[in-house]
Amino acid sequence: MTSFFLFVLLMLAALILVYLYRVAQGPTVFDRVLGLNGISTKSILMLIVIGVVYDRVDMFVDIATGYALLNLAGALAIAKYLEQRGAV
């Protein structure tokens, strides 16, 4: 069972690579923001899977919730920045 979850983790890491290409290469800022949001979502999933691997899901779910809230705050700050500066 652990090797299955390890496989899931590796697949999520491979997915993140795709997002990372968009963040680093993205022609517009909006591509980068969307890529960053995707990376954050995958990181939250990875955290929960790591919790499953370590058999401490309860604690890792709390941390994943914290991540998600922070992600929201960061996305709001970015949106505010783009609103003030106009579409870059």
Partner 1 sequence: MTFAFEIPLLVLLILTAASAMLVKDLVSSVFILGSYSFFLALVWAWLGAVDVAFVEAVVGAGLATVLFLLTLFGTNPKDTRLRRPPTPWAAIVGLPLLGLLLMYGANGLPEFGDPASPASTHVSPVYLANSLKDTLTPNVVTSVLMDYRSFDTLIETAVIFTAGVACALLLRRDQG
Contact flag: residue 18 with partner 1 (CB under 8 A): no
**Nearest alpha carbon to residue 68 among 22, 26, 31, 37:** 37
Question: Cα-flanking dihedrals φ and ψ of residue 8, to 5°?
Answer: -60, -45
- What's the closest the beta carbon of residue 13 comes to partner 1, in angstroms? 4
Considering only residues 42 to 81 of the shown chain, the ones binding partner 1 according to CB under 8 A are: 43, 46-47, 50, 54, 59-60, 63, 66-67, 70-71, 73-74, 77-78, 80-81
Contacts of 19 (CB under 8 A, 6+ apart): 35, 36, 38, 39, 42
Q: Of the candidates 1, 14, 55, 87, which one interacts with partner 1 according to CB under 8 A?
A: 14
**Nearest alpha carbon to residue 2 among 58, 51, 43, 44:** 51
Whole-angstrom distance, CA of residue 14 vs CA of residue 8: 10
The residues of the shown chain that bind partner 1, judged by CB under 8 A, are 2, 6, 9-10, 13-14, 16-17, 20, 23-24, 26, 29, 32-33, 36, 39-40, 43, 46-47, 50, 54, 59-60, 63, 66-67, 70-71, 73-74, 77-78, 80-81, 84-85, 88
